[in-house]
Structure 1
């Protein structure tokens, strides 16, 4: 089986959509459902975001991860956030034996970008 999507509630739908589009190159797909955004990323992976009626609190440790093909690609992903003028997290560093950084999208979605060599 191959994981093909994740569906998450968010407290700031348009802010989260903007973050995934500008920071990670996702493309917003049409949807007839108000309060929902469907975003397609590289390789066809889909992120579905739904506007929550109340603040969202993800459990400690919950995050989504974007595995990169090289350390250079991790640095390039970080640079893309800077070029998009999005809030910058701590720069890439070796954590748990891999090069990674963690960013937070509006609404508290924690995102890991890493290369596992």
Structure 2
């Protein structure tokens, strides 16, 4: 079974959509006007963002982008820098993998990592 999409509430729809477009290369698809953004990755996965007054995610909730190599993690970090987005702490080894964490506008915590083996 392949995951098709995830639908998340955000408090800053346009800011979050722009962040995922510029920072992660997701493409914004034509969709319903106002209140929703549909973003698609090159693998066909869709991230749907919906404007909300509040976005109360449980502790530890995050979206993860698994990378094939440590070099890909470094490249993802560099993409954020090249896009002029706020930079989180640089990638570091944590729990046996190279990772960094960042936060998109609207309250979405993001992990980018490579898990060897």
Number of equivalences: 116
State the 1:34 CA deviation: 2.3
State the 1:33 CA deviation: 4.2
Q: TM-score, normalised by structure 1?
A: 0.96
Unaligned runs of 5+ in 2: none
Unaligned runs of 5+ in 1: none
Across the aligned residues of Structure 1 and Structure 2, the Cα RMSD in angstroms comes to 0.8
**For residue 36 of structure 2, what is the aligned residue in structure 1?**
36
1:24-54 per-position Cα deviation (integer Å, ceiling 9, x unaligned): 00000001242110000131111000001x2
State the distance in 1 between where 2:32 and 2:48 align: 13
Point out 4+ residue stretches in structure 1 off by more than 4 angstroms: none
Superposed counterparts of 1:1-117, under 5 Å: 1-52=1-52, 54-117=53-116
State the distance in 2 between where 1:71 and 1:58 align: 28
Q: TM-score, normalised by structure 2?
A: 0.96
